[in-house]
Structure 1
């Protein structure tokens, strides 16, 4: 399959991309890189998933929950950290974090924390996410669409160089 792109302003600027990988044009099929496409979650499905997790999860530690979306379990994926949590408990700069699974023999995964700040400021966080290393965590824990991850910040001292989160996973039914 080949794809040719044209610059609308200059017809002489053409780029051609070709691949020998099979392409399934069925929306529910596979993409040309072989990764299975999944339907996103509806608001109702997300609400139900978080509700099930909240019924059984309690913590005195600062924490947040994330429902696993299809985009969270593919290569190159990042996972958004709620802005309210990031602003209250994180520094306004990139860094490292450790994700640990107490119930999985204490395994630990190092992930990059990506922090963006509002334009014109260096301290007000606009977005935060887990980046490099997340894919390893997701794969090792066989995360699936609709699972819920509860992240507890276990070292909340403002000067902590590396954040440590204890992660509890609630599987989709």
Structure 2
């Protein structure tokens, strides 16, 4: 599947339709339209256990992979959207994270906080922490309407390796 890369607002990848802050909606827009708008894009409803913190999830293709597009609402209004990718193993997760980090950095500039940075590694080392490779695969980017966050999660009891990219409206970013 050929996908053209277009970065606008919080959309990682978008088609030729006008871009919203996240896929189909702007932050603050009513969430009651999400399902219809996602279905119009060819997404499939996700019937499994929703990822923590999200009220809507759809099976999609993104970055030539199966993924979930996920949405969070507060008071019926969109405040967070994200992509969740399953990865085969740590190497696959690291490669996908690197691709996402590179693309978001092109869109938003240098991360505002990068766990792989020498400053973070020194801070954690000074505190006595030993960082694994996965511990350094986390980054945040500020933006005019939202904060982007990319990370890798190790397997847990009910899932394997996971890579995520989320966008949170600045109105909901906790300092």
TM tier, shorter chain?
A: under 0.3
More strand by share: 1
Normalising by structure 2, report the TM-score: 0.26
Normalising by structure 1, report the TM-score: 0.26
More helix by share: 2
Q: Which has the higher contact order (CA 8 A, sep 6+)?
A: 1
